[in-house]
Homo-oligomer: A and B are copies of this chain.
């Protein structure tokens, strides 16, 4: 059996796979050779390098493992019509993202930017006015794998967690739940409003001027999902009018953020360049998921993890 990777794991990671699966012939090619794809049964890709015409020639292809969360650049219709299995690395972002979100929350609460500024000026000042996470309330828009991990850690800090999704049904590590349609009633309780929502028809421009009006003037809004959950002018206005105290943004309507964008220079905005999911452990975890699935695949065990429903697209 031939397996083609269109990215290059580290030499020792490649060697581990070869040793672990002696009956499999592995090809590691970046960019991949179309001839090799034609003879491959399994294709492992970041999901940005395969198109419909590749598929036509790939007669033997039965499984595509996408080593990323997003499938928006894949020819899903053609894949579905060929009955090719697709799996991804869902959940791989939860640890680095939860750590990034907690880092930003704690940094602001414990006044680290002020402490750093005083250090640059060699100023010893105890007037840094830090406050506590303990006893506060966080509203998490999108309490899925990542949001649940954020909730779990926030609960360890003694934070009350409110999850918000379409249905309002219970979700792990959320003390309370609400739904998109009831959101305005929950917002006045939240010290942190954290969006980890993907971009869908339902989430696009979900947060309006009215929502920001409902938030506490001391609230910190954090966007770690997708930039289009709120129009930038709505957010800008909320910040300029002090409807909220702070925004921490890892995603934007348009990325990279333009050099002359007002967010860069605003005292109450943190601009993070869409790096919250970055991790030195990314490939390690992707290969762990792949190894688990390949073992099952070779055993003809159908219970692979992270199988994509090609109709829904996730």
A interface residues (Cβ-Cβ under 8 A, vs B): 95-96, 99-100, 102-104, 106-107, 109-113, 115-116, 118-119, 122, 124-126, 128, 130-135, 152-153, 156-158, 255-257, 259-260, 264-265, 270-275, 278-281
Contact = CB atoms under 8 A, between A and B. Distances in A.
A264 B156 CA distance: 33
- Copies of this chain present in the complex amount to 2
Contact of A280 (B113, B131, B156, B256): B131
Given A115-B272, A132-B99, A156-B156, A106 B107 contact: yes
A130 B100 contact: yes
Contacts of A273: 115, 118, 124-126, 128
A278 B130 contact: yes
The listed residue with most B CB atoms (<10 A of its CB), out of A118, A126, A270, A272, is A272
The listed residue with most B CB atoms (<10 A of its CB), out of A126, A130, A270, A280, is A130
Contacts of A134: 95, 99, 281
Contacts of A264: 119, 122
B110 A100 contact: yes
B278 A96 contact: no
